[in-house]
């Protein structure tokens, strides 16, 4: 792909616009195939990592940050549809990341802020984020959560 794009630029600068266009199209085809193969690999990694997981557990190991964000968004929507109250995201500690710095964990924490969901690190496993689906990030409850708790007699203290 990169070679095709490089040769395309060279052909264009040499005045061979038709050759440049052909090389550019070839590079774009390689790029499309690369995207499809990356998606296939991402799907395989995610399926393998989660085949023994419970519905409220989502293992994001081995994914790129963008892929992890997409999977997290999907898991949140699925949990909301199921009426789930909590999700556990296995984000890792960053031990295998370049430089030993976590990449997925801070991205998912930021995403939870955007969704206004409360996310806490599991005290028993620092590589897991526990997300409360029916909470608001500032610690309050959504109005429908108050009603749900009252209906299920889970207790709701009003001060």
Same domain, 37 and 61: no
83 and 37, same structural domain?
Answer: no
Pair 42, 58 in one domain: no
What tens digit of pLDDT does each residue of 23-41 get? 999 999 999 999 999 999 9
Tally the domains of the chain.
Answer: 2
Structural domain contains residue 145: no
What pTM does this model have? 0.71
Q: Of 46, 62, 82, which marks where a domain is finished?
A: 46
Could you tell me if 35 and 94 lie in one domain?
Answer: no
Residue 58 lies in a domain: yes
Tell whether 39 and 60 lie within a shared domain.
no
The boundaries of the domain holding residue 35 are 2-46
Position 158 confidence tier, pLDDT thresholds 50, 70, 90: very low
Residue 116 in any domain: the answer is: yes
Kindly state whether residues 80 and 127 are assigned to the same domain: yes
- In this predicted model, what pLDDT tens digit does every residue of 146-156 receive, in sequence order? 455 555 555 44
> pLDDT tens across 45-67, in order?
999 999 999 989 999 998 999 99
DSSP code string of the chain: -HHHHHHHHHHHHTT-HHHHHHHHHHHHHHHHHHHHHHHHHHHHHHHHHHTT--TTEEE-TT--HHHHHHHHHHHHHHHHHHT--EEEEE---STTSGGG--SHHHHHHHHHHHHT-EEEEETTEEEEEEEETTB-TTS-B-HHHHHHHHHHT------
71 domain-assigned: yes
């Amino acid at each position: 792909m990169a070679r095709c794009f490089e040769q395309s630029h060279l052909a264009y600068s040499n005045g061979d616009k038709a050759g440049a266009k052909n090389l550019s199209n070839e590079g774009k085809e390689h790029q499309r195939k690369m995207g499809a193969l990356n998606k296939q690999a991402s799907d395989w990694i995610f399926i393998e990592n989660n085949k023994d997981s419970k519905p409220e557990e989502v293992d994001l190991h081995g994914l790129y940050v963008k892929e992890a964000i997409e999977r997290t968004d999907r898991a949140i929507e699925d949990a909301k549809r199921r009426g789930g109250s909590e999700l556990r995201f296995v984000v890792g500690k960053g031990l295998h990341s370049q430089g030993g710095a976590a990449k997925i964990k801070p991205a998912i924490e930021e995403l939870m802020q955007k969704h206004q969901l409360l996310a806490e690190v599991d005290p028993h496993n620092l590589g897991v984020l526990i997300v409360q689906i029916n909470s608001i990030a500032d610690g309050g409850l959504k109005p429908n959560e108050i009603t749900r708790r009252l209906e299920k007699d889970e207790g709701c203290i009003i001060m």
